């Protein structure tokens, strides 16, 4: 059941939409006081779009081929996002790099979930890189989006051990299972005011408890 005044949240996604589903289901069944006012994607046939259609969530896809530049694409995207009046934008598996134009036009703070313990391993292939470097720990981070790839202030993290004989695929599965509660609890903490959405350089990073129930 929704809170009386749930936070309006827009979600950007390009893939299966599993983090979108985690957020939406938590808003319906786990007391997360938010509602998804729009889902936006660069992939019309992705799982996130299918889930939004199934759940009756407003959604819109943008095809890169229809726009002359990344900046024009991002301008159109952010105009559509602004129209659903979000208080927060969540990039949940959104695979396009957002241009400086898009970031400047974002109508509210924007966060992203990334599969590494930032500042380690921005970009792609994070699991393979962690294994190749002999890391004992890996995980996921939620961070503010700025004009540096995966370079905004880290808000929260969840850690998993890297096991002997791990493959990138097995490690990715374990990280993904922690991503869902990490994102939900981070959004909960943003809404409650426990996490401030500013760029304070020495702000505390919160960590997901081992039982996935809270951030410490």
CATH number belonging to domain 1-108? 3.40.50.170
114 assigned to active site: yes
Catalytic residue among 59, 114, 127, 138: 114
Instruction: Identify the CA nearest to 180 among candidates 46, 7, 1, 21.
Output: 21
Is residue 1 over pLDDT 70? no
Measured between alpha carbons, how far is 213 from 216 in angstroms, rounded to an integer?
10
Res. 202: pLDDT tops 80? no
Distances 178 to 12, 19, 46, 62, 209 between C-alpha atoms, Å: 20, 11, 22, 29, 10
Is 204 a residue whose pLDDT tops 90? no
Mean of per-residue pLDDT scores for the chain: 95
How many Å is the maximal CA-CA distance in the chain? 49
In the chain, residues under CATH classification 3.40.50.170 are: 1-108, 113-216
DSSP secondary-structure letter at 151?
-
pTM: 0.95
Dump pLDDT digits (tens) for 13-66.
999 999 999 999 999 999 999 999 999 999 999 999 999 999 999 999 999 999
CA distance 2 to 179: 23
What's the CATH class of domain 113-216?
alpha beta
What pLDDT does 2 receive?
Answer: 44
Q: Is the pLDDT of residue 109 over 90?
A: yes
What is residue 203's predicted lDDT score, i.e. its pLDDT?
A: 80
Q: Which pLDDT value is given to residue 201?
A: 67
Q: Residue 199 has what pLDDT?
A: 72
The pLDDT tens digits of the residues spanning 3-13 come to 458 999 999 99
Q: Give the H/E segment covering residue 178.
A: helix 168-192
pLDDT digits (tens, 9 = 90+) for 114-157: 999 999 999 999 999 999 999 999 999 999 999 999 999 999 99
Sign of CA dihedral 103, 198, 200, 150: negative
Residues 85-114 have a mean pLDDT of: 97
Task: Give the whole-angstrom CA distance, residue 61 versus residue 49.
Answer: 8
């Amino acid at each position: 059941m929704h809170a009386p005044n749930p936070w309006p949240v827009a979600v950007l996604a390009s893939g299966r939409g599993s983090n979108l589903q985690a957020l939406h289901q938590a808003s319906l069944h786990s007391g997360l006081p938010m509602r998804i006012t729009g889902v936006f994607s660069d992939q019309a046939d992705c799982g996130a779009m299918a889930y939004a259609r199934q759940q009756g969530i407003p959604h819109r896809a943008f095809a890169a081929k229809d726009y002359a530049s990344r900046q024009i694409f991002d301008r159109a995207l952010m105009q559509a996002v602004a129209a659903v009046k979000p208080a927060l934008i969540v990039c949940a598996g959104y695979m396009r790099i957002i241009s400086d134009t898009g970031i400047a036009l974002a109508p509210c703070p924007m966060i992203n979930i990334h599969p590494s313990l930032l500042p380690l391993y921005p970009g792609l292939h994070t699991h393979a890189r962690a294994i190749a470097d002999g890391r004992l720990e890996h995980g996921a981070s939620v961070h503010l989006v700025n004009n540096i790839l995966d370079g905004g202030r880290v808000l929260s993290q969840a850690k998993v051990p890297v096991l002997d004989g791990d493959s990138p695929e097995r490690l990715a599965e374990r990280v993904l299972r922690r991503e869902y509660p990490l994102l939900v609890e981070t959004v909960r903490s943003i809404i409650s005011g426990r996490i401030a959405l500013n760029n304070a350089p020495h702000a505390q990073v919160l960590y997901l408890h081992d039982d996935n129930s809270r951030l410490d």
